[in-house]
């Protein structure tokens, strides 16, 4: 399955108009409902995998589980089925970015923001817990943040409910190594809501410090550390956090599930206590080290004026042509009128894919994302991993196929 899927109509109703993301067994598209003009996200299993019974079961399981989950913090399913050779799931379209995007581009987060996101994730998991559903793949890539700063959990492809028939591969290591609990790494069958909460804690750890609790050269190295290594001190990595944050992490990331928070509600209570503690500390600091009201006219110097934001351009090195980057989302590619493909940044070179890469502008932060192009996208000579956003800085050199351009801020 590739970019040629753009323009296809599923079930005589959902027209695929853009590609949003691609995984190992499915691609998510932006689609327009021809009956009511509504925009949805449509997840389509790769055609070459459509005869894989195990993956079909996983795909159908995700649809059935989502049908029974209703919560503001879980992506809602609209429709699902099989159309000719395509298995598909239609979901609400989320206007926003993944949590991973913000972690990459913003770095370590302000503590209250990170705690609010963690609380919303846990509220969604509480709805799943009440339906006896375990997500089993909580990670920043599966957490979407919409334009109203609300969390939406997606990708229940690895989820399992107690009513679900266990698949033959459920013993195999599943999920992502940075965020997986020790018991899930050892045996997926033993994962319960405490395993999901462990994953939320690892995500919170990374939001606050810019790195996950455990790192290694391979997935196996990381998993072994989850199972055996001492829990790192988050306060040592970020000294401005209160010591209660270390105590929270020690409990949340305990090796034994019995030593952790037992339910999402317990986890939420602990998160709320941390928020209260951080707000109290911030209030004392704002009042000059005491709890009373801060008096006006303290003689504090005015904040320096914010410098005007520079305009972004790309310059094609072979010709010197400058192209302004004016939209929030721009497709870099090769025009193909026959297929109705007209990228915002059109490069007339056969080594450039029709939909080669995205350039994004999020409040003045520019990023590039390779769209799994045949001839790849390179940033300063390094080949980019498909569908992983990388921040751009003034002077960076990008290569789309054989076309080199320079990113400039003027």
Helix %, strand %, coil % for the chain, to 5? Answer: 30, 25, 45
* Predicted local distance difference test score (pLDDT) of residue 227: 93
* pLDDT of residue 293 exceeding 60: no
Whole-Å CA distances, 37 to 40, 86, 147, 194, 341: 10, 22, 20, 41, 21
Tokens 């899930």, residue located? 184
Which residues are CB-contacts of 87 (< 8 A; sequence separation ≥ 6)?
44, 45, 50, 56, 59, 60, 81
Q: Which fold has domain 312-409?
A: Tumour Suppressor Smad4 (2.60.200)
* pLDDT of residue 62 exceeding 70: yes
* pLDDT of residue 73 exceeding 70: yes
Q: Rounded to whole angstroms, how far apart are CA atoms 139 and 119?
A: 14
Write b or e for each residue in 92-113: b if 16 or more Cβ atoms lie within 10 A of its Cβ, otherwise e: bbbebbbbbbbbbbeeebebee
Which of 57-61, 97-101, 348-352 is least confident? 57-61
CATH of 96-157+175-283, one of 2.60.40.1120, 1.10.10.60, 3.90.110.10, 1.10.510.10: 1.10.510.10
Convert the pLDDT of each residue in 190-204 to its tens digit: 789 999 999 999 999
Of 79, 137, 155, 259, the catalytic one is: 137
Q: Within 10 A of 179 (CB to CB), how many other CB atoms are there?
A: 27
How does DSSP classify residue 145? Answer: E
Tokens 């980057």, residue located? 325
Convert the pLDDT of each residue in 301-318 to its tens digit: 555 555 566 889 999 998
* pLDDT of residue 25 exceeding 90: no
3-state secondary structure of 140: helix
* Region label for 27, one of left (φ > 0), alpha (ψ between -120 and 50) or beta (otherwise): beta
**Which is nearest to 121 in space by CA: 201, 41, 29, 31?**
201
328, 357, 146, 313: CA torsion to nearest 10: -20
Strand partners, 143: 153
* Predicted local distance difference test score (pLDDT) of residue 170: 36
* pLDDT of residue 46 exceeding 50: yes
Q: Rounded to whole angstroms, how far apart are CA atoms 390 and 410?
A: 20
Convert the pLDDT of each residue in 315-330 to its tens digit: 999 888 889 998 888 9
Convert the pLDDT of each residue in 132-177 to its tens digit: 888 988 999 999 999 889 999 988 766 554 433 333 333 333 348 8
Range 79-96 average pLDDT: 87
Which residues are CB-contacts of 12 (< 8 A; sequence separation ≥ 6)?
34
Range 223-251 average pLDDT: 94
Domain ranges, ordered by start, for the chain: 8-92, 96-157+175-283, 312-409
Let me know if 246 is a catalytic residue: no
* pLDDT of residue 179 exceeding 90: yes
Report the predicted TM-score, pTM, of the whole model to 2 decimal places.
0.66
pLDDT: is 157 or 250 the higher one?
250
Homologous superfamily, domain 8-92: Phosphorylase Kinase; domain 1 (3.30.200.20)
Which of 117-121, 284-288, 327-331 is least confident? 284-288
């Amino acid at each position: 399955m590739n970019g040629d899927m753009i323009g296809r109509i599923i079930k005589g109703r959902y027209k695929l108009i853009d590609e949003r993301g691609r995984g190992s067994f499915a691609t998510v598209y932006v689609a327009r409902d021809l009956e009511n003009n509504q925009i949805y996200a449509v997840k389509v299993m790769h055609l070459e995998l459509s005869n894989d019974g195990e993956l079909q079961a996983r795909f159908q399981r995700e649809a059935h589980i989502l049908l029974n989950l209703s919560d503001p913090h879980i992506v809602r399913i609209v429709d699902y089925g099989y159309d000719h050779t395509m298995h598909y799931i239609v979901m609400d379209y989320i206007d926003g970015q993944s949590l991973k995007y913000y972690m990459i581009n913003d770095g370590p987060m302000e503590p209250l923001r990170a705690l609010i996101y963690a609380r919303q994730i846990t509220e969604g998991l509480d709805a799943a817990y009440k339906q006896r559903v375990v997500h089993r793949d909580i990670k920043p890539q599966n957490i979407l943040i919409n334009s109203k700063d609300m969390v939406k959990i997606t990708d229940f492809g690895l989820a399992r409910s107690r009513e679900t028939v266990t698949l033959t591969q459920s013993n195999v290591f599943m999920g992502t190594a940075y965020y997986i609990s020790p018991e899930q790494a050892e045996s997926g069958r033993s994962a319960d809501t405490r395993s999901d909460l462990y994953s939320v804690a690892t995500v919170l750890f990374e939001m606050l410090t810019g790195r996950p609790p455990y790192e290694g050269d391979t997935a196996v190295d990381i998993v072994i550390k989850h199972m055996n290594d001492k829990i790192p001190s988050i306060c040592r990595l970020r000294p401005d956090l209160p010591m209660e944050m270390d105590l929270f992490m020690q409990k949340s990331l305990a090796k034994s599930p019995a030593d952790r928070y037992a339910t999402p509600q317990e986890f939420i209570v602990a998160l709320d206590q941390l928020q209260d503690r951080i707000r109290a500390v911030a209030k004392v600091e704002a009042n000059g080290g005491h709890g009373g009201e801060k008096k006006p006219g303290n003689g504090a110097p005015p904040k320096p004026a914010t410098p005007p934001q520079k305009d972004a351009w790309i310059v094609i090195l072979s010709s010197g042509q400058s192209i302004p980057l004016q939209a929030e989302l721009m497709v870099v590619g090769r025009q193909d009128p026959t297929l109705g493909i007209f990228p915002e940044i059109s490069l007339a070179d056969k080594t450039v894919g029709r939909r080669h890469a995205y350039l994004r502008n999020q409040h003045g932060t520019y990023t590039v994302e390779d769209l799994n192009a045949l001839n790849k996208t390179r940033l300063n000579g390094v080949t980019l991993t498909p569908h992983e956003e990388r921040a751009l800085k003034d002077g960076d050199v990008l290569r789309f196929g054989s076309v080199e351009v320079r990113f400039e801020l003027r």
